[in-house]
Amino acid sequence: MGVAVLGLGNVGSEVVRILEASADDLAARIGAPLVLRGVGVRRVADDRGVPVELLTDDVDSLVSRSDVDIVVELMGPVEPARNAILSAIKHGKSVITANKALLSRSTGELAEAAETARVDMYFEASVAGAIPVIRPLTQSLAGDTVLRVAGIVNGTTNYILSEMDSTGADYASALADASALGYAEADPTADVEGYDAAAKAAILASIAFHTRVTADDVYREGITNITPEDAAAARALGCTIKLLAICERISSRGGQQRVSARVYPALVPLEHPLATVNGAFNAVVVEAEAAGRLMFYGQGAGGSPTASAVMGDLVMAARNRVQGGRGPRESKYAQLAIAPIGDVQTRYYVSMDVADKPGVLATVAAEFAAHEVSIAEVRQEGVTDEEGQPIGARIVVVTHRAAESALSETVAALAELDAVQQVASVLRLEGTDQ
């Protein structure tokens, strides 16, 4: 089986290394040897750790070669990867990709091209690195009904929030630590603003619910506004804060099923399995009708973990070609509507700075009641300046389950009250049934 690898970064270099180091074992597992035909790069040079004769900057020619059976795309970003994949498929090559940004926008186009050409397209490495999530959803749970997929799918933000929780650091300091350790990119926007997690949520929702979901369908909030005070309040409530990607089926009052896909920082109770996932690790919890709750945990990024997932896909694609079969195809039969964020129900944590005077708490509680948002817990504490002089009070409200639209209306009304100086934080509370 002839293999072309596009990209020679951390993941691509590791894939090339494994192809050479494990050649005999791979051949035995597949039934034919995997032979590296070429590596597509931006810069051809003799210092890339690969024989220079295998390197080329002419990707179109490489993916169309008659001795290439499988193309492994690891170069990103959306372009030129999209054109390279479409060209490979057009020429009858099976494709493996880890390109979450591309998949979350062009899954339909790529899947239809693969179906027309009758080739495989695998993308396990696009979500959660080495953690097997895509294959269990497409194969192991193919006979079950998935209800909800929720998880921590971005290691950078999980490291930052873990540091804020354990050390009391502010966001900027925790981000600087993540950058120093190599967890954060030079431009961390895609991670800290939730774009990376939203792309992965779109992929997971599409597979779990047999409905095409794009990144634009995913409601997204990042972690840049999380404060040490939020982390401390979460601890006081027996919670920690995590950036969650949540995909679930929700039903309207008339019984119509829809898909909700969303990414935001949320309070998670310490007894929930996701609360114990710290540092740069990832975890995904899948809930299905028959299987119940399943959890997948491990390293969600990095050259070696991601290469492991790529190699798993490569072996599957190669086996299929040797045996004359094909892997799972896109399943979009359900075509469920996407639920707007306003229709989603969850619990909320609302923190506000208020005037320290009688009657304020009653006024605040009245606004929640007026918008039919039930209060589960309230805490009020004094706020002092740097010299210890009282300057107001802080009220923290934890609600029962309520619609996002009702909570938004409540927050807007609170901000208009004379007694409320500012609504400092609004966070969801996930992982409870109340």
Query: Is the previous residue joined to 265 through a cis bond, with omega within 30 degrees of 0?
Result: no
**36 annotated among ligand-binding-site residues:** no
**7 annotated among ligand-binding-site residues:** yes
**90 annotated among ligand-binding-site residues:** no
**93 annotated among ligand-binding-site residues:** no
**9 annotated among ligand-binding-site residues:** yes
3-state secondary structure of 407: helix
Instruction: Report the first-to-last Cα separation within the chain, whole angstroms.
Output: 54
> Is residue 245 a contact partner of residue 260, using CB atoms and an 8 Å limit?
no
Beta strands 239-251 and 35-40, pairing class: unpaired
Which run of H or of E encompasses 202? helix 195-208
Instruction: Count CA atoms closer than 13 A to 128's CA, side-chain side.
Output: 25
Nearest to 166 by CA among 225, 222, 228: 228
Token pair of 33 as six digits: 């040897």
**13 annotated among ligand-binding-site residues:** yes
CA distance 102 to 76: 8
Nearest to 332 by CA among 155, 148, 209: 209
Output the CA–CA distances (angstroms, integers) from residue 307 to 48, 49, 88, 197, 295, in the order listed.
Answer: 18, 17, 20, 19, 21
Which run of H or of E encompasses 381? strand 375-384
Hey, which residues are catalytic here?
Answer: 200
**242 annotated among ligand-binding-site residues:** no
**3 annotated among ligand-binding-site residues:** no
**372 annotated among ligand-binding-site residues:** no
CA distance 44 to 419: 66
User: Do you know the residue count of the chain?
Assistant: 434
Output the CA–CA distances (angstroms, integers) from residue 316 to 74, 106, 311, in the order listed.
Answer: 17, 23, 9
**407 annotated among ligand-binding-site residues:** no
Q: Treating both helix axes as pointing N-terminal to C-terminal, what angle do 303-323 and 23-30 enclose, rounded to 10 degrees? A: 40
CA angle (73 as vertex; 57, 30 as ends), nearest 5: 115
User: Which residues line the annotated binding site for L-homoserine?
Assistant: 185
User: Which residues line the annotated binding site for NADP(+)?
Assistant: 6-13
